[in-house]
Amino acid sequence: MNQPPVSIVMPVHNAEAVLEETVRSVLEQSFVDYELIMVEDNSSDGSLRLMRRLAEEDKRIRVLVNDGEHGAAHARNMGIKAAAGRYLTYLDADDIWRKDKLKKTLRFMKERGASFVFTAYEFGDENAKGTGRVVHVPPVLDYAHALTRTIIFTSTVMLDLEKLGKKKVLMPPVPSEDTASWWRILRSGTDAYGLDENLVIYRRAGKSLSSNKMVAVKRIWYLYRKQARLSIPRSMLCMFGWGWRAVARRI
């Protein structure tokens, strides 16, 4: 049996209310040769039951169960290890892909000969309705510039596992594991190529910005000091750039 070229990894934690809408955005993609690996991550709602029903309806869906309270990094890594495709992409269980997301991202990756690509995206409300606030991305991003702009959004990313290897893309078990993972890949000398087209809706709860500001600050500081191992002065400089751009994205 031929393996699909694209593997989609989706961690699922208490996402029953929004999961089916997210999965439908995958099933309605114009590019159809993929596998969707959903990893159940210690949910207390009906997520697993829904995941299994969706898998029964479409043979491209696989369901894994992340037993215990391990978190998103562990769940994503389970999906990565199980992935059969050359091209790895992520989708969080509450975000939405526009119908040409896979087709356009894969075409862009091949045209650029890239191993790491990401796209623009749009902030959505709690119902995943676009707000018109689009985060645009640069044509290319290296490690030094990535430190001052956490502009790579997980649900937009595609990686070439044939070029990078699975070991390099496994996510570390730290807060903001996705950003830490992008930095590790970029630090190895790989550049990330940006497709500046809005292909993803980032669903955000109404209170998420105010309630999570300090958490985000603590997490990015931890990454600078412990993951990137930057000095305090350089960490402060990078954090200033990160903070300024983070605010600008939300205005």
Residue range 99-115: average pLDDT?
98
- For residue 145, tell me if it sits in a domain: yes
Instruction: Give the lowest-confidence range in 79-88, 200-209, 217-226.
Output: 200-209
Nearest Cα residue to 15 out of 92, 114, 76: 92
pLDDT interval class at 210 (50, 70, 90): very low
**Residue 208 pLDDT more than 60?**
no
CB atoms within 10 A of CB 202: 21
- For residue 37, tell me if it sits in a domain: yes
- For residue 236, tell me if it sits in a domain: yes
pLDDT at position 21: 97
Beta bridge partners of 125: none
- For residue 1, tell me if it sits in a domain: no
pLDDT interval class at 4 (50, 70, 90): very high
Q: Mean pLDDT over all residues of the chain?
A: 91
Q: Say if residues 102 and 30 touch (Cβ distance below 8 Å).
A: yes
- For residue 185, tell me if it sits in a domain: yes
| Domain assignment of residue 184, given as a range | 6-250
pLDDT interval class at 248 (50, 70, 90): low
Nearest Cα residue to 122 out of 201, 204, 208: 201
CA 165 remoteness from chain centre: 18
> For residue range 41-99, what is the model confidence (pLDDT) as tens digits?
999 999 999 999 999 999 999 999 988 777 889 999 999 999 999 999 999 999 999 99
- For residue 126, tell me if it sits in a domain: yes
The number of domains in the chain is 1
- For residue 227, tell me if it sits in a domain: yes
- For residue 11, tell me if it sits in a domain: yes
pLDDT at position 213: 74
Pairing label, strands 6-12, 87-90 = parallel
> For residue range 131-187, what is the model confidence (pLDDT) as tens digits?
999 999 999 999 999 998 889 999 999 999 999 999 999 999 888 899 999 999 999
Nearest Cα residue to 169 out of 77, 61, 70, 69: 77
Look up the CATH number of the domain holding residue 52. 3.90.550.10
**Residue 126 pLDDT more than 50?**
yes
pLDDT interval class at 219 (50, 70, 90): confident
